Amino acid sequence: MSIQEIQNNKEAYIALCRQYIKRDGLEKLLDYLEKTDFYVAPSSTNYHLNIAGGLCQHSMNVFHTCMAIYNNCVKPHLGKPTCPFKEEVSEESIAIVSLFHDLCKINLYQVTEKFKKDESGRWVTYTGYRVDDEFPFGHGEKSCLRLYHYMELKQEELLAIRWHMGMFDIAEQGSAQRYAFKAALEKSPLVCMLHNADMLASNCMEVTTEM
How far is 190 from 129, CA to CA, in rounded Å?
32
What is the pLDDT at residue 4?
97
What is the pLDDT at residue 24?
98
Longest dimension (CA), the chain: 64
List % helix, strand, coil for the chain (3-state, nearest 5). Answer: 55, 10, 40
DSSP code string of 99-165: HHTTGGGTTTEEEEEEEEE-TTS-EEEEEEEEE--SS---HHHHHHHHHHTTS---HHHHHHHHTTT
- At 70-99, the pLDDT tens digits run 999 999 999 999 999 999 999 999 999 999
**Which has more confidence, 122 or 171?**
122
Rounded mean pLDDT of 5-19? 98
Rounded mean pLDDT of 17-35? 98
Angle, alpha carbons 206-38-162 (nearest 5°): 75
On the question of pLDDT at 8 being above 90, the answer is: yes
pTM of the model: 0.92
Band (171; pLDDT cuts 50, 70, 90): low
Band (211; pLDDT cuts 50, 70, 90): low
**Whole-number Cα distances in Å, 139 to 24, 31, 33:** 24, 22, 18
- At 129-146, the pLDDT tens digits run 999 999 999 999 999 999
Ramachandran quadrant class, 173 (left: phi over 0; alpha: psi -120 to 50; beta: rest): beta
Rounded mean pLDDT of 161-167? 92
In the chain, where are the structural domains located?
A: 3-107+138-205
Domain 3-107+138-205: assigned CATH number: 1.10.3210
What is the pLDDT at residue 28?
98
